[in-house]
Amino acid sequence: MSAVETTEEPGGTAAVHTDKIAGVLMPTGARPRRAGPLSASLTYGWRALLKIKHVPEQLFDVTVFPIMMTVMFTYIFGGAIAGSVDGYVQWLIPGIFVQTLIMITMYTGLTLNRDISKGVFDRFRSLPTWRPAQLVGALLGDQVRYTLAGVIILTVGFVMGFRPDGGALGVLVAFALLLVFSFSLSWVWTVISLAVRTEQAAMGISMFILMPLTFASNIFVDPRTMPSWLEPAVDVNPVSVVVTSIRELMAGSFQAGSVATVLLYCVVLVALFGPISMFIYNRKS
């Protein structure tokens, strides 16, 4: 018996009283009104936050990685491309801001891939809630991670001399727009991570998509300096569109057209990849 005593935590040794259990049962058939889609999504989002609270190590990628990206790219490219770090910072920080957040969205898919294979998802899927809430909630919870990463990048940028003309308001609006885009883009990684079997495969495919998107964009260099055949591709690249819009907002020049284009991309991403995610999710064994 001593083995039992040591494995049972203090709370666990308390006897189970069946009369207490009988007393706590609700009559069958009595049930609260079913949770709405929003409340269910927020509950799953709350779960994601609790996981951050209990396992703070998982914030490594949204703290150390952004600092590294910002410092590294500013000093490496700053000298080589613009000749001086000071001038380049104004151009580069908004780009790095977008690039880093987009790269971090990829982890959403990877985490989901791991999470979904756990027993608790069987229970979630057997509950009478709006099913997409399980995915929407996870993505909402990730907004906290994106926000943290964004704040770190902008702080490091500020320390390195980034002074946006748009002021605090411009930066805030840009930040909000990027969060909306990140949420929308996350659905792409969600589809990939649901469709493939292993985390490694999801990582590989995601990288394969991300690398050209971020590097064949206007993040690091002005497309005017690129070969003429590449220029149009860079211009329609959604990442370039987002970066342009973020730069404008941070510089204090609000252009309704480019903001609208970004939002249109968001709608298309969610409308396309949201239902595909749900289709695969519902059929996953």
Partner 1 sequence: MGVPEIAIETSGLVKTFGSTRAVDGVDLTVRRGGIYGFLGPNGAGKTTVIRMLATLLRPDAGEAHVLGHDVLTEAKVIREKIALTGQFASLDEDLTGIENLIMLGRLLGLSSRAARSRGLDLLAAFGLSEAAEKQVKKYSGGMRRRLDIAGSLIVTPELMFLDEPTTGIDPRSRNQVWDIIRTLVSGGTTILLTTQYLEEADQLADRLAVIDHGTVIAEGTPGQLKAQVGSGALTVRVLDEADREDAARVLGEVIGADVHRESDPTALTVRVDQTARAAAALTALEAEDLGIETFSLGQPSLDEVFLTLTGSPADDSAQGTPDETKAGAR
Range 185-215 burial, b when 16+ CB lie within 10 A, else e: bbbbbbbbbbebeebeebbebbeeebeebbe
Q: Is 224 in the site for partner 1 (CB under 8 A)?
A: no
Interface with partner 1 by CB under 8 A: which range of 29-37, 68-76, 230-238, 244-252? Answer: 29-37
Q: Is 123 in the site for partner 1 (CB under 8 A)?
A: yes
Q: Which residue's CB is nearer to partner 1, number 8 or number 222?
A: 8
Helix (H, G, I), strand (E, B) or coil at 110: helix
Given 2, 14, 168, 256, the residue binding partner 1 (CB under 8 A): 14
Q: Is 25 in the site for partner 1 (CB under 8 A)?
A: yes
Structure tokens at 197: 């079997």
Given 2, 57, 80, 119, the residue binding partner 1 (CB under 8 A): 119
Q: Is 2 in the site for partner 1 (CB under 8 A)?
A: no
Q: Is 80 in the site for partner 1 (CB under 8 A)?
A: no
CB 243 within 8 A of CB 217: yes
**C-alpha angle with apex 242: 96 to 200, nearest 5 degrees?**
65
CA–centroid distance for 222 within its chain: 27
CA–centroid distance for 242 within its chain: 16
CB of 134 to partner 1, least distance (A): 9
Q: Which residue's CB is nearer to partner 1, number 32 or number 227?
A: 32
For helices 238-250 and 167-195, angle between their N-to-C axes, nearest 10 degrees: 160
Binding site for partner 1 (CB under 8 A): 4, 7-18, 20-35, 39-40, 43-44, 46-47, 50-51, 54-55, 118-120, 122-129, 283, 285
